[in-house]
Structure 1
Amino acid sequence: MPDSNALDSTRFAALQQTPLWDFALTFYSRPGVEQACLTLQDDAGVDVCELLFHGWLYVHGLEALPESLEALRQARRDWQTGVTEVLRGLRRDLKHHDAPSETVTALRERIKQAELLAERENLQRWQTWAWDNEQPTARLRNVPVSSQDAGRWLQESVLLPQDAKMEGCGSKTRQALQHAFSVLGQQLDPLRRAR
């Protein structure tokens, strides 16, 4: 009997036809997704690019093998910390600048564009890893058909490696994070491709 979790070549081919950036733009614009992503980013330190990567895989019926993700996850976090978060910090600092001038407003807008480009580059690197044709079965597998709801699945895919962050949260913050994952799951399910 074949392994139902083994990588399905049809799902992999469909994934290769859908750029992660295109998925990210579509998904991020769905109701409640932007706020849910920002809540997870700001309150739990979740890397939104990784979150979007897992969502992209999920809608294609795929998931990354946890053991194969470790090196990539660290490289992507290093990029986020060293590039994206630096730009985000500058942009946010300028937002609270005393009496912003036209020049400060223009500078803030340019930094915002640079931050978006940094996120796009990060997503491109996640995508390249997933699309690599050399042994995709060593990186990806089918999501089990009987998997729990998408929000819970996403929470386990993204937060389990950093579960300690959830443990330190108060009950109100924990509820907000669980609500954010629930919103994301509700928005992912309609996008999930038919199997």
Structure 2
Amino acid sequence: MRNSIALDSTRLQRLQQTPLWDFALALYARPGVEAACLTLQEDAGLDICEALFHCWLYSCGLEAMPAAVASQREQRRLWQCHVTEVLRGLRRDLKASASESESVAALRETIKQAELMAERENLQRWQAWVWESTSAEQRVVNVIEMSPNAAKWLRKQLFYTQSDHQSRAMTNSQSVVLKALQTLTCQLDPH
């Protein structure tokens, strides 16, 4: 449900007091979240940074406007494709060699740190997108009523206007993906 009334300044203040990177690290460290995120990334082809972004907004009682998020989603997808996934591929390719060579292991660790920095940059860009919003272009709105099923709410946020390939992935492994979303949202709001 969307609210046409101006954004609640308390919610925005709460959002600004919790940087997305800090929120993401804290949520990712909770039980089951890392495995759930990897499932969403591998089985549904989701950008985990976007999932964490939506969780961050939701934790402050906000949600992104679907039409507004579409262009940002494409920019973030390009970043993931051209930067993060390239680094991830290199790190994975070096896994076997790293066990046989200390220098390759050190290189792999450097690439792992670069991959983490790329993820952080992606999250910072999502955050900046919200904070740089003008009053003429409303990007987020108040969540009027917190959903009794936050996993379904998150699924709707993540799969709104996703490509057919990603929608098929959701259909093909719906129960696995929904379970991962439930794990993520249960850690977001354990109640």
| Distance apart, 1:145 and its partner CA | 1.1
In the alignment, structure 1 residue 95 sits paired with structure 2 residue 108: no
**What are the equivalent positions in structure 2 for 1:1-195 lying under 5 Å apart?**
3=3, 6-97=6-97, 100-132=100-132, 134-135=134-135, 138-162=138-162, 164=164, 165-168=166-169, 173-190=173-190
After superposition, the C-alpha distances for 1:104-157 in whole angstroms (9 at most, x for unaligned) are 100100000000000001100100111125228611101121524211111110
User: 2:162 aligns to what SS in structure 1?
Assistant: helix
CA distance in 1, matches of 2:115, 2:56: 21
Structure 2, gaps ≥5 residues long: none
CA distance in 2, matches of 1:26, 1:169: 27
After superposition, the C-alpha distances for 1:36-65 in whole angstroms (9 at most, x for unaligned) are 000000111100000000000000000000
2:78 is matched by which residue type in structure 1?
Answer: D
CA distance in 2, matches of 1:54, 1:93: 31
- Measured at CA, do residues 136 and 30 of structure 1 come closer, stay the same or move farther in structure 2, by a change above 3 Å? farther
Q: State TM-score, norm by structure 1.
A: 0.88
Identity %: 55
CA distance in 2, matches of 1:89, 1:143: 37
CA distance in 1, matches of 2:88, 2:113: 10
- Measured at CA, do residues 5 and 47 of structure 1 come closer, stay the same or move farther in structure 2, by a change above 3 Å? farther
- Measured at CA, do residues 145 and 6 of structure 1 come closer, stay the same or move farther in structure 2, by a change above 3 Å? farther
CA RMSD of aligned residues (A): 2.1
| Distance apart, 1:5 and its partner CA | 6.1
1:87 is matched by which residue type in structure 2?
Answer: L
Q: State TM-score, norm by structure 2.
A: 0.90
2:156 is matched by which residue type in structure 1?
Answer: E
CA distance in 2, matches of 1:168, 1:50: 17
- Measured at CA, do residues 168 and 41 of structure 1 come closer, stay the same or move farther in structure 2, by a change above 3 Å? closer
Contact 1:4 1:144 in 2 (8 A): no
